Structure 1
Amino acid sequence: MIDTLALAVALPLLGAIGATLWPRRSLPLSLVAGLATTAAALALTVEVALDGVQRSDFGGWGAPLGIALQADGLSVALLAMSNLVTLAATFYSAEYFGDKAVRRHFWPLWMLLWASLNGLFIAADLFNIYVALELLGLAAVALAALTGTRDAVSASLRYLLASLLGAITYLLGVTLLYGAYGTLDLGLLADAITSGPVAWGALTLMIGGLLIKTALFPMHFWLPPAHGNAPAPVSAALSALVVKVSFYLILRLWFDLFGPIVTPAAANLLGILGAAAILWGSWQAVMAERLKLMAAYSTVAQIGYLFLFFPVIASLEPSPARDDLIGAMVLFALSHGFAKAALFLAAGHIQQCAGHDRIDDLAGTVQRLPATSFVIALAGVALIGLPLSGAFTAKWLLLSGAIAAGQWWWVLVVLAGTLLAAGYIFRMLGKVFGFQETPYACITAVRSEVPALLLATTATLVLGLAANPLWFLLGFGDLR
């Protein structure tokens, strides 16, 4: 029997090794490894949907001695999104990089990033999560600095410091748990953990470290410059996936490990930080002068929405309504991942053709790049949360849950954030779809626009019109 859990991590690692040993063949090797990795991830998703939780103990050694990988509905939902986005960005990258030296460094780092992402989604113990977090951070920082410009290197160094701080803080929490319980397996810890100073200290350190990596306000200081100055496919992966995997880990720890000891006060604190992220990030996006910088600040805001779910969920007992809110939170994360990746890929295409990404100087884009302009419009629909998008369904369930729980203040935050999102998206679209008598010349290959178009379509039509499979995958039955 083929172990799809192992393949999801091993295949991109083999791709990274192959791209390092044979740099002249790095592109075809990476494309083949990427296709095989995505196929393994999708096969794993089908296995979980049909047979339930999948687990592999390597070397025949089970917990607490062995290294284990485990996949359930939550992990494979985000794993599938991550692999589809990374695959699209991989095909986009085949046309994006012109410098041979940059290509030589890009592909090994890119495949290492891919392997780290997959490993984090299916890791079953806290130490392997730490190892994968470090690999992910180092690969992401190196990729963000590939352009070699002063701004990119400076932003990447700041990103590196934030990433290391987050990882070390997380590791301190892991150390507390190991000293108290003698195991790092998530399942064994969930059964053993009890309320007390050790558990609370570990919760604070581990969640705090991951919040730095997730760039939740006010710990977002590193994200806009790093994402705004990285190459377009790297920006897409950073905003759509790298911060999303940190959020996934928070979600996993919050509900599966620390569920018995978390309090409504802690959930409300996350909600307050999320609200601040929405308002601050959206306003900075409105004021941004560059398209990629606007998209980066939009990521700060969109992350905030995910944390608004925590206080509303905490106010509910286990019920179908609570399940719907958890499903809506995952749906929002998926929708944002596809939409933000599409937006960054489109922004990179415009930057290559026009030579800049200044929003005020984008008039004529629709005349030269109609498909890319359409991608930006579709991604904008999802980021605002307009009907037909997955984000609309997620926001609707969030608003309904907040009203039912009597937490009306979150409704005001969501409405204000949505209006601000409409402001920066329509400001951008007004320029992109503006007419120019002598638009900039650009010769473009259709295949370089297809990946972004597929991602934007998924964020709007697919997730907006077909959310029920996600609810079944998460084990919640039907979307009510």
Structure 2
Amino acid sequence: MTETLVLLSLPFLAALAAALHARLSAPIGIGATALNAAAAVLIAGGVLREGPATTAIGGWSSPLGIPLVVDGLAVVMLLMTAFVGLGVAVHAMGRSPMDAGPARLAQTRRWFWPLWLMTLGAMNALFLSGDLFNLYVAFEILGLTAVGLTALSGSRSATAAAFDYLIAGLVGSLMVLLGIAIAYAAVGQVDLDIIPSLVATMQGRIALALIVAGLAIKGALFPLHFWMPAAHSSAVPSASALLSALVVKTALYVLLRVSLEGGADAAPLRALLGAAGAGAMFWGGWNALRAERLKLLVAHSTVAQIGLIAVAIGVAGDGMLWKAAVLLILSHALAKAAMFLAAGRIAEELGHDRISGLNREDLRPGAAEFAFAIAAISLVGLPPTAGFIGKWILMEGLIDDGAWLWVGLILIGTVLSAAYLARVVSRCLRGGPHVAPGARRPEWRSGDAAALGLATGALALGLASSIPVALLELTPA
């Protein structure tokens, strides 16, 4: 219980301290992020030893109390957020200008830390929440801080993207809130375990449809992803990494929870998720293949990868294939954070992020280029990465079920991923006669260590996938 309270309170208190003491915001931010990671590890150990637990805040039971649920799935998401966030925080501590002009650099650095810590606290609250209304409150905090992160650089494009993000988030929030209100009118409770009761009645299905539609907007699920590519590509690299790797995963997490709670009666919802996911794989992949700028390619790649995760949730049914969706979420979080951080460093090295101009004679490939390549391997799903393990479990289950149509769609999506990522990797790592003998190597920065560490983490997770799988076994389904 103590560790749970740390996860819920520490980030918000640290955010307040970082906002009040600008000169100490970076040490406060990195320290709080590290303590948050330690608390997440302790909670994981407790769940492995003692199993899942539910705690009512203040001792008030349902429907008056706010239940906190700590099971395998929640712990996996907490660990993902803690360690990806720690990697991005290390990057933000470095000397990289984070795409901000000199006049805006101090302001950008100052407000990154309070916004990130508020985002961390909101995600912790969301993953631990056991009722729908508390999820809504966490989403509201998360939405506001995510908009702030998007607009952090103060550029015109970032401000416009943040405004679109804000409008989309408000529409999604209204739909979720309306769905929760209808659900409460139908059942008289808002705990997550009312989902089976909702899918059994027409009023409940309407409530669930509104909640899922709101989550689809917040999770940038095709065709409701219109706001996302501009928001993720316009933000500074640290913010882009957090938005793509972590923030969009919160909606996918709740969709997975709803699917698991609904059981066999949630089949129509899963069918809709599968269809939307298939559309996202192809639409996102096609736009990434046509993108002219590196960060925009990575942003469209997120649309495609979210689609793959939605397909995994959609085809899971009430069986165990949902574990593949979680492994894909973990793999994408690590690889996409590394990719956005690497993309920012590559743009900094070259002075631009045009894909056609990534190969320069006077510049040898550096750590950022290698980090991007390793992350690409994980996103495509090549061994021994976590992306490969997730796809292997998913494909094996589909083949056993005879779902050959889904197998074919996923294979085509994988080929698309390989095609658009190869556009970048082939240019970034091109050597031989293309590189001049006296070509310089980029200066080493802490951001390179963060990008390499996160990308290598996606590789290591593939070799240690038994750890998250063991935790997921402790999830009631």
Contact 2:150 2:235 in 1 (8 A): yes
Look up the match of 2:139: 133
**CA–CA distance in 1 between the matches of 2:439 and 2:179?**
54
Look up the match of 1:473: 471
The offset of 1:69, in angstroms, is: 1.8
Amino acid at match of 2:466: N
Q: Does residue 142 of structure 1 match 2:148?
A: yes
Look up the match of 1:81: 80
Look up the match of 1:240: 245
| SS of residue in 1 equivalent to 2:55 | strand
**CA–CA distance in 1 between the matches of 2:199 and 2:406?**
31
The offset of 1:260, in angstroms, is: 5.3
- The change in CA–CA distance for 1:372 and 1:439 in structure 2 (over 3 A counts) is farther
The offset of 1:276, in angstroms, is: 0.9
| SS of residue in 2 equivalent to 1:215 | coil
Q: What are the superposed Cα offsets for residues 421-468 of structure 1, whole Å, 9 maximum, x if unpaired?
A: 1111111011112334399867634422111111111112x2222211
Look up the match of 1:407: 403
**CA–CA distance in 2 between the matches of 1:55 and 1:369?**
50
Look up the match of 2:384: 388
Q: What are the superposed Cα offsets for residues 261-310 of structure 1, whole Å, 9 maximum, x if unpaired?
A: 323x4322221111111011111111111111111000000011112224
Runs of 4+ in structure 1 over 6 Å off: 438-442
- The change in CA–CA distance for 1:365 and 1:184 in structure 2 (over 3 A counts) is farther
**CA–CA distance in 1 between the matches of 2:250 and 2:206?**
22
Instruction: Give the TM-score taking structure 2 as reference length.
Output: 0.93
**CA–CA distance in 1 between the matches of 2:16 and 2:398?**
49
Contact 1:377 1:429 in 2 (8 A): yes
**CA–CA distance in 2 between the matches of 1:27 and 1:249?**
31
Amino acid at match of 1:259: G
1:215 to 199, 217, 220: 220
| SS of residue in 2 equivalent to 1:218 | coil
Amino acid at match of 1:153: T
Look up the match of 1:306: 309
| SS of residue in 1 equivalent to 2:279 | helix
- Of stretches 430-439 and 139-148 in structure 1, the one that deviates more from structure 2 is 430-439
Amino acid at match of 2:265: I
Q: Does residue 184 of structure 1 match 2:190?
A: yes
Contact 2:341 2:447 in 1 (8 A): no
Pairing 1:409-424 to 2, within 5 Å after superposition: 409-424=405-420
Q: Does residue 103 of structure 1 match 2:109?
A: yes
Alignment: residue pair count: 465
Q: Does residue 297 of structure 1 match 2:303?
A: no
The offset of 1:192, in angstroms, is: 5.2
The offset of 1:194, in angstroms, is: 5.9
Look up the match of 1:259: 263
* Percentage of pairs with the same residue: 41
Amino acid at match of 1:397: I
**CA–CA distance in 2 between the matches of 1:225 and 1:80?**
28
The offset of 1:313, in angstroms, is: 2.1
Look up the match of 1:336: 332
Look up the match of 2:291: 288
Look up the match of 1:450: 449
Q: Does residue 275 of structure 1 match 2:278?
A: yes
| SS of residue in 2 equivalent to 1:63 | coil
**CA–CA distance in 2 between the matches of 1:94 and 1:223?**
26
1:228 to 222, 225, 233: 233
**CA–CA distance in 1 between the matches of 2:352 and 2:143?**
28
| SS of residue in 2 equivalent to 1:262 | helix
The offset of 1:121, in angstroms, is: 0.8
The offset of 1:255, in angstroms, is: 1.4
Instruction: Between the two structures, name the one with larger relative contact order (CA 8 Å, sep ≥ 6).
Output: 2
Contact 1:368 1:439 in 2 (8 A): no
The offset of 1:114, in angstroms, is: 1.0
What are structure 2's unaligned runs of at least 5 residues? none
| SS of residue in 1 equivalent to 2:407 | helix
Pairing 1:113-132 to 2, within 5 Å after superposition: 113-132=119-138
Look up the match of 2:63: 64
**CA–CA distance in 1 between the matches of 2:149 and 2:117?**
11
| SS of residue in 2 equivalent to 1:146 | coil
What are structure 1's unaligned runs of at least 5 residues? none
**CA–CA distance in 1 between the matches of 2:362 and 2:395?**
35
The offset of 1:197, in angstroms, is: 1.2
